[in-house]
Structure 1
Amino acid sequence: RIKAIATSQAESFGCMAEVDWKEGYCVLVNSENETNFARQVALDLVGAERVVLNGPPLTGSEDFAFMLEKIPGSYLLIGNGDGDSAGACMVHNPGYDFNDDNIATGSDYWIHLTREFLKV
């Protein structure tokens, strides 16, 4: 459809259009078992009131999607809160301010996840 639109628009101005489509990133799809495992670790660590279970889908691209095509896994976000900025925003945004108070929570999560996975 993109090629048809570009070609028609170009022809309406007496021009030609060429569309060279390059595939980008694949869709990131979490594996059910690994997602349930990661979710339970978060619930055990910080409690249900601090875990967003069904957040909105993200529309950005992520190279972790290529890994999930090869092995099961789960991509998750550890919330940042507002930090010192005027409000919460995602990374790769000029207003992003990393909240240093979350360093302990983030590291505790990965330690807990690893221990549960290894059954240590």
Structure 2
Amino acid sequence: MEKLRILVVDDSELVLAMARDALEEAGYEVITAANGIEANTYIFSRNKPDLIILDVMLPMLDGNKKAKLLREKDFSREIPIVLLSSKSEEELRRLVTESGGDAYVHKPFTPWQLVTTVRKVLESRRR
């Protein structure tokens, strides 16, 4: 069985490493990118990700705007998006709604929180 591919986009090497470790241990294939522009290389490839985790505060193009743009494109409209940020829970809920995201994870996060959120989003998309 082929592993589901997750793209994690964050400008923090520490966050990328933590997310990669947690998600790979949970059985996912993980691709990382440091900004929204770099993420395009993976999003618009033949092997596009099955889910995208986007930091809200990214250099060049923030995650909230990136999520909105992805929802506008036929090619990426159906890819689930999880926003990642240290903003308040209330602000994160608003950003998820505005951007068309599927969920959020609040920084700092535990590996369990990240993996649980990813699993819930993927399961809800399969129904």
* Band of TM-score, shorter chain: under 0.3
TM-score, structure 1 as length reference: 0.25
